[in-house]
Amino acid sequence: MLQPKLIKLTVRSYMSIPEGDDKRYELIDGELILAPSPVTQHHRISRNLLRALNEFVESQSLGELFYAPMDVVLSDHDVFQPEISFNSNNRLHIIGDRNIQGSPDLVIEILSPSTKTRDRDIKLEQYLRFGVRGYWLIDPQERTLEVLKAGDTEFETVRVYPERTTAMSPTLEGIQVEVDRLFE
């Protein structure tokens, strides 16, 4: 029996999704993935982290932060919407009118039961492949912030920060994030 041939979508077809569509999509290796709206706790964590990062990035004039939904176009078949992304001053040129065209310096994902495997496997590999330097994974169930940095062939865990610790990152030197405050 013949198997149907899967057609990979491109950025062009992805961008043709009407703006009024209130659903959140990502394009992963040409496959359109529908992501349900995150739960309330997810939004709170994102808001709390964005506040801490924004204060630091603005006070040091380091670059620009973006938060979902914001398309990060990595290739003709890969468009992700990380919770938060950071572009240093050296990477501001990749920010376009509609999206980010290339790899941010730092990408942050908040894990959920429906995205955990994709965030830890597929997206982690793609972010490394396309040149993201830092990757943070926040696990609301474990109440941790994992800081990773790009190595030669894989992302290396710098440290997993549990509650009652202050997270730091080689990608944003000098940043200090109180992990407890993320989960308030």
Would the pLDDT of 151 be above 70? yes
Q: What is the pLDDT of residues 93-144, one digit of tens each?
A: 999 999 999 999 999 999 998 889 999 999 999 999 999 999 999 999 999 9
**How far apart are alpha carbons 119 and 99 in whole angstroms?**
20
- H helices of 61-120, in order, are 116-120
Would the pLDDT of 5 be above 80? no
Q: Do residues 15 and 9 lie in contact, with contact meaning Cβ atoms separated by under 8 Å?
A: no
**How far apart are alpha carbons 72 and 124 in whole angstroms?**
14
Q: Can you give the pLDDT at residue 48? A: 97
- Dihedrals phi, psi of 94, to nearest 5 degrees: -85, -5
Confidence band for 21, pLDDT divided at 50, 70 and 90 = confident
Instruction: Please report, for the chain, the start and end positions of each structural domain, with discontinuous segments joined by +.
Output: 38-182
CATH of 38-182, one of 3.60.20.10, 3.90.1150.10, 1.20.1540.10, 3.90.1570.10: 3.90.1570.10
**How far apart are alpha carbons 131 and 106 in whole angstroms?**
10
Token pair listed for 17: 């999704």
Give me the percent of the chain exceeding a pLDDT of 90. Answer: 78
